[in-house]
Structure 1
Amino acid sequence: MDKLYELWIDNKKLCITVIIIFLGLSSIFIVFILKKESTENKDSLNFSKSSSETVIKSDTNTADKVKSKKSQEISIDIKGAVKYPGVYVLKNGARVNEIVKKAGGMLENADNNQVNLALILQDQNVVYIPFEGEFSNSLTTTVQSSSKNVTDTTATSNGQSVSESETHKYDINEVTKEELETIPGIGDKKAEQILAYRTEHGRINQLDELKEISGVGDKTFEKFQMYLEVSP
């Protein structure tokens, strides 16, 4: 024990120096460890934040792409003289010829001379391809909008339209053959039959009398009755 004490006395300064150096190094080591952990935690937080922002940005881009794709598409309902009537999705700016192809093309008894295949379509349009004898107006395609604020219209090759609410009605007792031929559902033959019936029976008092003409059934009558009237 005495030897240890003597050794301590002889090397007191050296021991104190070693202890101070050890404590200094320990302090430096502890500070380094704490700083490293703080840096790692900060990097981890930044990585997590960056990952979250990347996911949110990716989801936003995906939603924008889906929205953009939808805005570039239009839904069109085609009816009449085509093989497969129905609703088809087309690109925005599509024309009548594209919806006709989608629907399998026109039937043999379709009056393609009255169809404006170059007409540009809009979303929710209803396209009607007439059968032979239904229309006499040249290059006409019936395009109806399903919008509540837009009335049914007949779109022509020059972009004009005629509202059903503004349909001109002819007096059945005064109408001429040429005027009859402009009415949907009445062709040259039916126009002659109507005039012949009027000549034979005299004044027509009710439009229903036209059903007595051969070939004029309920469906045919419904097509043209809105264009005719009996004046007092």
Structure 2
Amino acid sequence: MIRISNLIVLVLCLLTGTGCGSEKEEMEPFLIEEEVQEQERVSSEEEENKDTQIQAEEAKAPLTVFVHVCGAVNHPGVYELPEGSRIFDAVEAAGGMTASAAVVYLNQAALVTDGQQLYVPTKEEADAGNAMSPAAQSEVSGQAEDGKVDLNHASKDELMTLPGIGDAKAESIIRYREEQGGFQSIEELMKIEGIKEGVFQKIKDDITVT
């Protein structure tokens, strides 16, 4: 009787041990899957935090611009203006044009950009053809005659005046035009990493290529 009892106990132990082993083997795939999911979740959070940080840095656009106003104005000098100011704002800051200024020579509705030199010629200079043309002034400043930002000539600061273009994207634009020999069209801007259809639609009316 004792032998039979011992045998039963032995069989039960063997069955119990086998059952535990099987259960452990069945649980292993689930444990591995949970570990993989946790790693993916952590990686996703890190990527989101990185994107948020980049967006925050790119959102730091200058709130003011500095413009050098000279020529036929009452008070030539460097003036700090709110971002988005026009040429007429810069001229007004310099005390307005003098009586000898060629009033219609400049497009006073055009936007000014940070670091721009704005020269107001006299009537004599304009008539004699000695004044720097608006196109020549825009080439120096990176701004086209119509006030748009020229992708092929604009400085980093000028590019950063565009909505959605921060420090990193401005550097990418400059690097791209140097490597490719310039932009052939404004649509080519979307070839740059981080500048997709959404950003392009916001700035397409403010940019040009020459």
Fold shared per TM-score above 0.5? no
* Richer in helix (by share): 2
Find the structure with the greater CA-based Rg. 1
Normalised TM-score (structure 2):
0.42
Normalised TM-score (structure 1):
0.39
Q: Which has the higher contact order (CA 8 A, sep 6+)?
A: 2
* Richer in strand (by share): 1
